[in-house]
Structures are given as C-alpha cells and as structure tokens.
C-alpha cells in the first residue's frame, strides 16, 4: 500500500494535522480509525517510507481488514479515496468546507446490544469500529437491537464464531431492505429459513457445493418456489443437470425453464436434452464450416436458435455449412445471409435446400458457358447471376441468351452489349432463334461480327477445356492462381518503380512457371495452350487489322 497526497491536497496541505480534522472528526471517530488516518498522514508526509498493507497493519498492531475498514470509514466522509484494492492504495483528499460529520451514537442506547453481541462472539474482542458499523445499520434501517442480535446469532451459527462483521452487516441490510426489522419479523424469517434448510441443502448437494446454506440461498429458494412456482424436488432435479455449478447459474437455468414453461421433471429433462442437442449441432456446424468459436452461447442465441425457429433441421443446416465451406465463405455472417435468403424463398427442408444448390450449380455451369461465348474468361459472380435472373424473367431461353452472347463476343463491354441486344429483342417481341436471325439478317455488319465471334468462341472454348484439364492436376491450381497474383503485384511494383520488388517477383514468377510447365507436360500441354489460339494471327479473330477488315473472313474455321 502506498499513501500519497492528491494534487488538490498538496495545494492546501499542512505539515501537521489540520485543525478541522481535530475539531470536526477526531472526537467522534473510532479510535482505530484515528490511528490509521494519522499514520497514513505521516506516510504521506514522508514519501520515502513506502510500505505495503501488511507492514502498515503491523506498525499499528491492527489486522489488515481493520486497516481497510478504517480507510473505508474515512472514505465515507471524503477525507480519503481508496483507489486500488490490490495493491491496497489510498489517496488523501483535502477537507472541504462542507463535510459529513461521523454519526454519534448514545452509548446507553446500545449498552445491552454491545454486551449481548460480545457474549455471542466470546472468542474475539469486538472493535469500536465494528460496533459503529452495527449501530449505523440499525439506525439506517430502524432495526431493533434485539432483532440485530438475532441476526448476528444466526450468522454465527451458520458461519462460525470467527465470522466477520461485514457478513453480519450484509445480512442485516438485506433484512432491512425487505422491511424485516422487528424481533417478530426476524424470528419468522429465520424460522422459515430453518424450515427450508433441509431442502436448500439438497439443492447445494446437487450442485456439488460443500457449505452450509445461508440467507442468500434462502432468497433464491423463495424466488424459485413463490415467484417462479417450481416444486422443491424439481429444483433439485434441475440442479443435477448442471452438476458442478453455482446458485446463480441454477437461477439462470430456472428462469430459462420458466420462460419455456418447463416445470415438471419430464419437461425439464426435455428442455435440457434439447439444449444439449442444440449445442451439439452448433459444434457440428462450426466443424463443417471449419471455424472455432470459444464460447458457443452467443452463437446459439444469435444464430442457431433463430435458424431452428425458422424450421431448419440439422441435416439442412449442415448441408448449407458444407456449401459455404466449398465456396470459401466459412463464417457465420455469410451463413446467416444465405439462410435468410433461402428462407425468403421458402427453401427450408433438406430436399428443397439440396435442389436449390443443384440448380445453383447448373446455373453457374451455364454462366461459365455464356461468359466463354462472349469472350470472358473468369468465374461467374453475383452480378452475372443477377443478370441471368433478369433475362430469364424477360422470358428468354438459354439458347437465346447464348445467341446474344455470341453477338457480344469481341465487344469492349460484352455483358452490357448482351443486355442491350436482349432488351431490343424484348421490346420487339423476338423470343426465338429464327426471329433473332430474321431481326439481324439484313445487318451485314452483324453477320461479320457474328462470324468472328464464333471463331473467338472456338478458340476460347478450346483454351477453357485445356485449363479445366490442367486444373484437375494436383497442385496446379495453386500455382496458377499465384501467377495471376504475381502479375498484379508486378504491376503495382512497376508503378512504384520498386526495382527490388520487381526483381523478386520476376524470379518467383520464373520459378512457378517452371513448376507449372512440368505439371502440364504430364498431360501434353504447355502454358500457351491455356490461352486462346486464334485462327488468324493478323486480327486475332476480331475481323480487323487496325481500322480495316481482315482478309481472313472467307477462310473456313472449324
């Protein structure tokens, strides 16, 4: 413990003791409290004397608890501030002009009480400070001295003669807050407690708590049996489901049981079994997603219980988790978003969820074909799926959509071009391939573009098939994706003119290229086979060399 002046105190402090302390506080304060205050003041005046709580107590021949109680006493009047419990640290404050004087009690009023209390606790001498605490509680809550003695005796019987006065004070305040202040009321309360001790003991045993029941246990018991209407034997049954726990945890469980209207043993057993099943499902769900959650309660409350309330079963949820993991979206937020989307479409049971994912798979396969047709080499994304939904809502078949993709091949922005073509067909009522052909047959330029789009589609399709074969090779996909990443990093390095980074990335690229080429050779391919090989080297199947049409138009390409 280190005692020191506050900045405010230093500005107005005296070398000795302030007269206001002697005049207004000292005369009416307990003797030990005065000793502690003065000795602490001494330490403040001598900052080099840094001692801890144990040494402080030894110097005054007091217990550490007494020293703490004395400082707490002065804290009530604003003379000190206990700023830390461990290590115990006190800061002295200036004495304000407006202060609270210690309460003065008439000794004769509590003479019988002090004698009776000392007789109850003959193994130790009760301090003035302890008596002062009891007097304050009795005055504050209007507790009769005889009633206070009954409370003290009850506490001593339950906890032993060496019980601290803080516990007695705590119990007395609890009684006072509930209006139990007379001998008759205290006697009735304690009789009720004694009557219930056996039942409370059973509850403590079920919780593996090895101690005697106390007044807080009785308060819990009253709440459970009166406010929540649980039978004692059912409380014990609920306690056994918790095994080693606490009365507070049992209170949480009983409140949850009350909310779910589970009162009998059978209902409690079902509730606990279902709760365990939910936690088991949560663990399985997380394992399927390949995530770890330290505390499951929040996940159960915020996600799992909500999904179960929607009607989702374990098999459907685990299928969803597996799909998310495969898509690289293994987190609870993505899971919740997907489930909310599925629920909005009425997709809840295992069969409908599985059908949705199968349809989703087919959709992505079509989108990959569509993108290749219009000359785009990438995976489908959310925007592509949204476009497809819109186009199908316009009553266009997949053949018509592919026809539009063919027309969009070679365009600067193929997808917006496709959207324009389909929108034009929609406005003109063209919904079949023949109609689309008739609509465009007089457009020589469109024929020209369509032919070259066909050629580019052939080249892209071949390259895509080669890429799919390569991606089936173990380890190739990782190398392939890293090469794309290196290209991006090189671009940034060149912009930054970072020669060292450029050199490092170039070396890494060369090394990965060698490894990838080695894998490709196993299936008779090279890296160049993964990119489109166009029929015409002059125009790369665009139909133009510069601004002029290429002379390769009449050449047949299969």
Round to whole Å and give the CA distance between 444 and 451.
11
Angle at 71 between CA 68 and CA 75, to 5 degrees: 135
Helix (H) or strand (E) holding 275: helix 265-289
Identify the pLDDT of residue 10.
44
List the end-to-end C-alpha distance of the chain, in Å, as a whole number: 92
What single string gives the DSSP state of each residue in 352-378?
Answer: HHHHHHHHHHHHHHHHHHHHHHTT--S
CA–CA dist 91, 83 (Å, integer): 7
CA atoms within 13 A on the CB side of 19: 0
User: How far apart (Å, rounded) are the C-alpha atoms in residues 436 and 446?
Assistant: 12
Report whether 415 contacts 401 (CB < 8 A). Answer: no
Are 150 and 143 in contact by the 8 Å Cβ rule? The answer is no
pLDDT at 439: 59
Please tell me the number of Cα atoms within 13 Å of 47 on its side-chain side: 6
pLDDT 10s digits, 158-170: 777 778 888 888 8
Longest dimension (CA), the chain: 125
- 3-state SS of 7-71? HHHHHHCCCCCCHHHHHHHHHHCCHHHHHHHHHHHHHHHCCCCCCCHHHHHHHCCCCHHHHHHHH
- CB 529 within 8 Å of CB 538: no
Cα 544 to Cα 553: distance, rounded to the nearest angstrom: 10
The CA distance from 298 to 314, in Å, is: 19
Alpha-carbon distances of 221 from 24, 34, 250, rounded to whole Å: 47, 43, 11
Q: Is 392 exposed, middle or buried (0-12, 13-18, 19+ CB in 10 A)?
A: middle
Provide the 8-state DSSP code for 203.
H
CA distances 250 to 124, 268, 275, 276, 391, Å, are 37, 13, 15, 16, 58
Cβ within 8 Å of residue 52, ≥6 positions away? 1, 87, 88
Q: Could you give the CA distance from residue 546 to residue 119 in angstroms, rounded to a whole number? A: 114
Distance of alpha carbon 473 from alpha carbon 467, whole angstroms:
10
Strands 80-85 and 3-5: unpaired
Which tokens sit at 226?
Answer: 């009166």
Q: What CATH number labels 3-92?
A: 1.10.10
Residue spans of the domains in the chain: they are: 3-92, 107-181, 195-263, 274-348
User: Contact at 8 Å (CB) between 241 and 267?
Assistant: no
The predicted structure's pLDDT at residue 264: 92
**Residues 544, 552: Cα–Cα separation, whole Å:** 9
Distance CA 334, CA 291 (A): 13
Question: How far is 542 from 416, CA to CA, in rounded Å?
Answer: 19
pLDDT digits (tens, 9 = 90+) for 226-246: 889 999 999 999 999 887 788
3-state secondary structure (DSSP) of residue 174: helix
pLDDT at 554: 53
**8-state DSSP, 103:** P
Residues 215 and 159: their CA atoms lie apart, in Å, by: 11
Predicted confidence pLDDT, tens digits, the chain (558 residues): 456 555 455 444 454 788 878 877 787 778 888 899 999 988 887 776 778 899 999 999 999 888 988 888 787 677 888 887 778 888 888 765 444 455 555 656 788 898 898 888 888 788 777 888 888 889 888 999 999 999 999 888 877 777 888 888 888 988 998 899 999 999 988 887 777 888 988 999 998 988 888 778 888 998 999 889 999 999 999 999 887 788 998 998 898 888 778 899 998 888 888 888 888 899 999 999 888 888 788 888 889 888 988 889 999 999 999 988 888 888 899 999 999 989 998 999 999 998 888 888 888 889 999 999 988 888 888 788 889 989 999 999 999 999 889 888 887 788 888 888 888 888 888 888 877 766 555 444 555 677 777 788 888 888 888 888 888 888 888 888 888 788 878 777 787 788 888 888 889 888 988 888 888 898 898 888 888 888 888 888 777 777 777 777 555 444
DSSP strand pairing (544-545 vs 88-92): unpaired
């Amino acid at each position: 413990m280190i005692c020191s002046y506050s900045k405010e105190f230093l500005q107005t402090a005296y070398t000795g003791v302030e007269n206001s302390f002697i005049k207004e506080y000292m005369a009416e304060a307990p003797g030990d409290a005065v000793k502690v205050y003065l000795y602490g003041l001494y330490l403040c005046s001598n900052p080099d004397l840094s001692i801890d709580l144990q040494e402080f107590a030894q110097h005054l021949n007091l217990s550490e608890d007494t020293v703490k109680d004395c400082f707490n006493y002065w804290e009530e009047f604003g003379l000190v501030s206990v700023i830390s419990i461990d290590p115990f640290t006190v800061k002295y404050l200036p004495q304000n002009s407006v202060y609270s004087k210690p309460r003065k009690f008439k000794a004769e009023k509590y003479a019988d009480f002090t004698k009776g209390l000392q007789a109850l606790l003959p193994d130790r001498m009760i301090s003035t400070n302890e008596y002062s605490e009891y007097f304050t509680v009795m005055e504050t809550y209007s507790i009769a001295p005889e009633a206070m003695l009954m409370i003290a005796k009850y506490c001593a019987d339950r906890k032993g003669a060496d019980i601290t006065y803080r516990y007695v004070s705590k119990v007395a305040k609890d009684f006072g807050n509930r209006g139990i202040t007379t001998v008759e009321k205290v006697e009735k309360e304690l009789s009720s407690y004694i009557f219930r001790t056996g039942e409370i003991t059973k509850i403590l045993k079920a919780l593996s708590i090895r101690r005697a029941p106390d007044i807080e246990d009785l308060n819990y018991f009253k709440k459970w049996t009166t406010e929540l209407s649980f039978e004692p034997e059912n409380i014990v049954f609920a306690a056994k489901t918790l095994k080693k726990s606490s009365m507070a945890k049992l209170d949480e469980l009983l409140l949850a049981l009350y909310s779910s209207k589970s009162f009998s043993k059978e209902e409690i057993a079902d509730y606990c079994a279902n709760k365990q099943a939910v936690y088991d499902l949560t663990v399985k769900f997380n394992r399927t997603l390949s995530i770890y959650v330290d505390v499951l309660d929040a996940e159960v409350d915020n996600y799992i219980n909500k999904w179960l309330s929607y009607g989702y079963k374990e098999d459907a949820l685990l299928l969803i988790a597996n799909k998310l993991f495969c898509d690289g979206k293994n987190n609870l937020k993505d899971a919740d978003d997907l489930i909310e989307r599925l629920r909005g479409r009425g997709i809840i049971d295992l069969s409908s969820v599985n059908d949705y994912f199968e349809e989703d798979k087919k959709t992505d396969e079509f989108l990959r074909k569509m993108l290749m047709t219009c000359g785009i080499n990438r995976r489908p994304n959310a925007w592509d799926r949204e476009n497809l939904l819109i186009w199908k809502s316009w009553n266009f078949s997949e053949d018509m959509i592919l026809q539009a993709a063919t027309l969009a091949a070679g365009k600067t922005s193929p997808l917006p071009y496709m959207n324009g073509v389909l929108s034009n067909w929609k406005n003109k009522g063209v919904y079949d391939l023949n109609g689309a052909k008739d609509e465009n047959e007089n457009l020589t330029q469109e024929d020209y573009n369509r032919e070259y789009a066909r050629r580019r589609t052939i080249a892209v399709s071949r390259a895509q098939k080669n890429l799919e074969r390569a991606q089936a090779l173990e380890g190739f996909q990782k190398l392939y994706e890293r090469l794309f990443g290196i290209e991006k990093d090189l671009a940034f390095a060149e912009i930054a003119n970072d020669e060292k980074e450029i050199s490092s990335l170039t070396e890494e690229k060369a090394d990965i290229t060698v490894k990838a080429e080695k894998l490709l050779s196993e299936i008779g391919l090279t890296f160049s086979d993964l990119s489109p090989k166009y029929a015409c080297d002059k125009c790369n199947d665009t139909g133009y060399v510069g601004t002029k049409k290429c002379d390769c138009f009449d050449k047949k390409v299969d």
